[in-house]
Amino acid sequence: MEQRVTSTSGLSGAQSVDRALSLLSLVSYFGDQGASLSELVDQGGLNKPTTRRLLLALMRSGMLEQDSITRRYFLGEEAYILGTLASRRYGLLQISRDSLTTLSAKTEDTSFLSIQRETSSVCLHREEGTYQIRTHALQAGYRHPLGVGAGSLAILSALQDEEIEAILEANNQLLLAEYPNLGPSQIREDVATTRKTGFALNPGRILANSWAIGLAIHYPDGRPAGALSIAAIDSRMQPARQVELVALMQVEAKKIEARLAHLQPINGRIKRPIIPARPGTRVEGAN
Amino acid sequence: MEQRVTSTSGLSGAQSVDRALSLLSLVSYFGDQGASLSELVDQGGLNKPTTRRLLLALMRSGMLEQDSITRRYFLGEEAYILGTLASRRYGLLQISRDSLTTLSAKTEDTSFLSIQRETSSVCLHREEGTYQIRTHALQAGYRHPLGVGAGSLAILSALQDEEIEAILEANNQLLLAEYPNLGPSQIREDVATTRKTGFALNPGRILANSWAIGLAIHYPDGRPAGALSIAAIDSRMQPARQVELVALMQVEAKKIEARLAHLQPINGRIKRPIIPARPGTRVEGAN
DNA sequence: GAATCTTGATCCACATTATGGACCACTTGG
DNA sequence: CCAAGTGGTCCATAATGTGGATCAAGATTC
């Protein structure tokens, strides 16, 4: 009745776990406003009873919670605890917080930390600047396809060509549908420019007049751990100031990279596919 | 062939999700050293293939990772990301970090932040002191039944009598088995003392000569959000110094409570049972 | 270096488990 | 007051997870 992408290696299964965790991840993208059941049904690719059943399981474990009035679903305390316990291995935000504060203090503009998550970038933190005109195109939890936005582009540009192609391929439909100004070919150009100049520039491609500069942060082995970015209105992003900002950001990126190198060095030994196959992905013809 | 505790309310199910998340939580208790498959089998109550299958699912989603050499399982990057995104609602550690630094700097002793997790307390952070003799009875990720340890006792004492009884009841076996010096009746006494003096004292009950003082942190509605604690050898915990330490801690607890009050006020509206029933619990006679 | 243990990992027949179309209850708005 | 939207659930069906047995690969022993 239904076709699934089947795994090739032995001992697969636990599909409901895949679905549940995929839902959990989906909820996380809604951030502070939370997700409603129907939104999750629409975007999660599962039907209502199944979605609800998995949400209940996630709530039983504390990973999610539901607002009893609005009925919306939010990340729960258990998610916070696990993340806190995991942060000794992946404490990029902890390590970067000082740098973000410094950047926003010195530049008066809003700065961000983003990381890669599959074929997207996710904003982990937004550090407010004091300048009166601020762009709100990016907030913690927001996700964009890799290459869309300054930090996102910085991360993409730090990947290997082969990975970049795989990612652009995977995002192809989404890019064409949601970002008419930013097709794969435009992103390929942007990557080239980023590599040449040494920093990523988003000249208002997502929101007019909202410009940003991004700089990748690298693990000791060269893989990108994430990216710093600073956003401002175009008048505050003219070439002369771009150079100033990049210089400040480079100093902070270096600091972060130094601290990253002292983290648990286990990271390099971990099994992890380059582009993990999303399990539960459906093939045409469902239902 | 097997009997399960069945839920009474409608639309239950997704048991493998319960099991998987329960495993995830179990892995988190191993902290930096990670968990081996057989340890998880022993402590998780599931057999090997099932455990492994669920671990694979958790790894597929990035919640866990496996060291390719030692084969041990650790919390993964996805767990970190989710936790970071959840931290805007539950950012107790973020909010408390300054206070911990201050406390350890002023007292030279090691300070801790703990929170309640079901019927246990979990240490979220350990801030090292500079004093040369330090107790290592408590580290981030470590768990104790509520009432065991200063922070843990502070939290327990801040709960309502009815909850305390339910928790002591749930932990009864564990307490008798693992903490011979600390039966339920001793804890009830400790709670009374804590409420009278206004702070929790652990006079070396877990590890001889390792004393600690704990102070609960409250949400605006009075529920405990967690606890600060400071540990030192007994000679540095004589009555006079106890008073000094408590005074310092009270200042910091007040600060934290003030910041907590400004967090997302949604917390109060969340559906959450007092003592959630662990699903997947088996009844005698399995296998 | 053969024999023995331990640990990680997997196979596959079996039946317990999750699935989802249809449905209910409630709220919104025209 | 009916239509459309939402959150939530029932239950017959069949797909899913289960776990005893087994394999493979180090350790340890003698």
Average pLDDT over residues B107-115: 96
CB of A275 less than 8 A from some CB of B: no
Place of tokens 């999303």: A278
Q: What is the pLDDT of residue A266?
A: 42
For B272, the closest chain A residue by CA position comes to A65
Average pLDDT over residues B137-147: 89
CB of A105 less than 8 A from some CB of B: no
Q: What is the pLDDT of residue A33?
A: 83
What is the spatial distance between Cα A236 and Cα A212, in angstroms, rounded to a whole number?
Answer: 10
For B21, the closest chain A residue by CA position comes to A61
Nucleotides of C under 7 A from a protein CB: 7-12, 15-23
Per-residue model confidence as pLDDT tens digits over B113-130: 999 988 999 999 999 999
Q: What is the pLDDT of residue A257?
A: 96
Contact (Cβ atoms closer than 8 angstroms) between residue A107 and residue A72: no
Share of chain B above pLDDT 70, in %: 87
- Give every CB contact of residue A87 below 8 A, 6+ residues apart in sequence: A93, A94, B80, B83, B84
Of A144, A165, A278, nearest to A212 by C-alpha is: A144
pLDDT tens, chain A, 287 aa long? 333 332 334 566 788 899 999 999 999 988 888 899 989 998 888 888 999 989 999 998 999 999 888 888 999 999 999 998 998 778 899 899 999 999 999 999 999 999 998 899 999 999 999 988 888 888 888 889 999 999 999 999 999 999 999 999 999 988 998 888 888 999 999 999 999 999 999 999 998 899 999 999 999 889 999 999 999 999 999 999 999 999 999 999 999 999 998 875 444 344 333 333 333 332 222 32
Gyration radius from chain A CA atoms:
20
Edge-to-edge strand ranges of the sheet holding B210-218 = B143-145, B120-127, B110-117, B224-233, B210-218, B200-203
Q: What is the pLDDT of residue B46?
A: 86
- Residues of B numbered 230-269 whose beta carbons fall under 8 angstroms of chain A's beta carbons: which are they? 264, 266, 269
pTM equals 0.79
Q: What is the pLDDT of residue B12?
A: 67
Q: What is the pLDDT of residue A264?
A: 56
Query: Measured from the CB, is A22 under 7 Å from any atom of strand D?
Result: no
Mean pLDDT computed over every residue of chain B: 85
For B63, the closest chain A residue by CA position comes to A21
Least confident of A207-216, B153-162, B266-275: B266-275
Contact (Cβ atoms closer than 8 angstroms) between residue A216 and residue A195: no
Contact at CB, A17 and B57, closer than 8 angstroms: yes
CB of A55 less than 8 A from some CB of B: no
Contact at CB, B61 and A18, closer than 8 angstroms: yes
Q: What is the pLDDT of residue B247?
A: 97
Higher local confidence (pLDDT), B139 or B169? B169
